[in-house]
Amino acid sequence: MLGFSMLAKLLGYHSRTQEEIHELLLSFAEAGANVVRLKGGDPLVFGRGGEEMEFLQQQGIEVKVIPGITAASGIAAELGIPLTHRGVANSVRFLTGHSRNGGTDPLFVAENAADPDSTLVVYMGLSTLPSLAAKLTHHGLPKDTPAVAVERGTTPQQRMVFAELKDIAEEIALNQLVSPTLIIIGKVVALSPLWPHVKKETAVLMEAN
């Protein structure tokens, strides 16, 4: 017997709680089914796959994880953004815009994340980005740090906006980006051939010549 569990959760429209998902997975497995919990991207990067795996293993259910490419890697590659680059960014950090119990300002780690030599990737951060951007600049990250927000990355419905850190939240609002949207902040964003400031500078040089 083969059962499939495809339980999508959208921001503000969670059809089931995480506890209910756990119980569904367990009930299917105990009924003798092979259960597929299908997730987008990497199930172990902000996908709560670790929680589901831990719960099932505690109940004696065998779990096998099929790895996927996390959104950070897939979207960055799609846009030609190296998450690390010699002389530009020596590390990359993944953050979630949500706290465990919800709330509007979970980004207490901004002080340690405001590193101009690192790349910051924010998952599920649309609602908290204005607060995060303010905190990052307060703790020393330059306001003109390049940033990009990508809605539904690597799909035919992909939309994106590039802007400096001080403007990215406003640009997201103007373009009405919705979840799921990934945000990448760091000097490496300007290495993308899509970075608009590069095009402007090139145009000026051509006119000067």
The whole-angstrom distance between residue 178's C-alpha and the CA centroid of its chain comes to: 13
146 cis-preceded (ω within 30 degrees of 0):
no
For residue 3, is pLDDT > 60?
Answer: no
d(CA 190, CA 179): 24
Q: Please give the pLDDT value at position 102.
A: 52
CB 130 within 8 A of CB 52: no
CATH number of 71-191: 3.30.950.10
Predicted confidence at residue 23, as pLDDT, reads: 87
Q: Locate the domains of the chain by residue range.
A: 2-58, 71-191
Q: Tokens for 83?
A: 């998450």
Whether residue 189 has pLDDT greater than 70: yes
Distance in angstroms (rounded) separating the CA atoms of residues 209 and 206: 5
- Mapping DSSP to helix (H, G, I), strand (E, B) and coil, where does residue 163 land? strand
Predicted pLDDT at 118: 96
**pLDDT value at 7 more than 70:** no
Percent pLDDT > 90 in the chain is 52
Q: What is the dihedral of CA 181, 185, 188, 193, to 10 degrees?
A: 40
Look at 71-75, 91-95, 103-107 and tell me which has the smallest mean pLDDT.
103-107
Would the pTM count as exceeding 0.85? no
Query: Residue 60 and residue 26: Cα distance in Å, rounded?
Result: 10
Q: Is the dihedral of CA 110, 141, 193, 151 positive or negative?
A: positive
Reply yes or no on whether the pLDDT at 76 is more than 90. Answer: yes
**Residue that wins the pLDDT comparison between 88 and 97:** 88
| DSSP at 146 | E
Least confidently predicted of 14-18, 117-121, 180-184 = 14-18
Pairing of strands 181-185, 146-151: antiparallel
